Structure 1
């Protein structure tokens, strides 16, 4: 499971001209799922993201987590995070999970984030053509891969 998280001042997701998710201060989470991912990946990644101290405290030091600031989150599925660009100029997405595997894992991740944060989070629509608008705060962008936990 791969995630790119961006600390945002605001973010939203629009599908077919309709805004379906919107947050103020918090995290935009782009999530890529591969066939080998499972419940352990979901739990580890959710807890890591929710507790990551990347928000400024009163002294301007990145010392507070998403939980600490009671921030919002939007989770957007993004299979292109598993692109292989080793050969040629056309990315291969062979490692990305097919929808029958990816959708339940995506939904499970959203449920785990909601449980860890204690609140509802925004989402995109799996497989839809989404327009993601964000104001990156910092900028702060961090990449996670659950296969590299150690």
Structure 2
């Protein structure tokens, strides 16, 4: 799995003019799944992200996690994270898992976050989405399972 993590002051995702997910404070997660990924990858990434110390303490140092901050998550499936641009001008998405494999792993990932009592809002898997956010910092990281 590959997840782009963006610390956010506010964020939302819209599908066909309807807001499907909205958060006030926390993380926007763009989530990509590849062929070899399974539940263990989803659990590892969920645990890593929930405990990443990327929120500032009273002294301005990144010492607090999403769990410490009681932050929320806006989770958006993003197969394009596995786009290969090495050859030609059009990305090759062969490393991205097909929807029948990717969607259950994506959903399991979100379930693992919810088990940690994190509020998770989502986009709509496989849909064209408009994601809007105010990146806080900006703080943007890439977390991978393998």
TM-score interval, normalised by the smaller of the two chains: over 0.9
Alignment RMSD = 0.7
Partner of 1:146: 145
* 1:113 CA displacement: 1.0
Q: Which residue of structure 1 lines up, in the alignment, with residue 46 of structure 2?
A: 46
Matched positions, count = 146
Query: Match for residue 74 of structure 2?
Result: 74
- 5 Å-filtered alignment, 1:8-23, equals 8-23=8-23
Deviation of the 1:20 alpha carbon: 1.1
Question: For 1:73-92, what aligned pairs fall within 5 Å after superposition?
Answer: 73-92=73-92
Gaps of 5+ in 2: none
Normalising by structure 1, report the TM-score.
0.95
CA distance in 2, matches of 1:131, 1:79: 15
Question: Could you tell me the TM-score, scaled by structure 2's length?
Answer: 0.98
Distance 1:93 1:54 in 2: 30
Q: Distance in 2 between matches of 1:139 and 1:115?
A: 28
Aligned pairs for 1:1-150 (under 5 A) are 1-116=1-116, 118-147=117-146
SS in 2 for 1:135: strand
C-alpha deviations, 1:73-115, integer Å up to 9, x for none?
A: 0110000000001101100000100011011101101101111
Please identify runs of 4+ aligned residues in structure 1 that moved more than 3 A: none
CA distance in 2 between partners of 1:79 and 1:119 (Å): 23
Unaligned runs of 5+ in 1: none
C-alpha separation in 1, matches of 2:108 and 2:40:
11
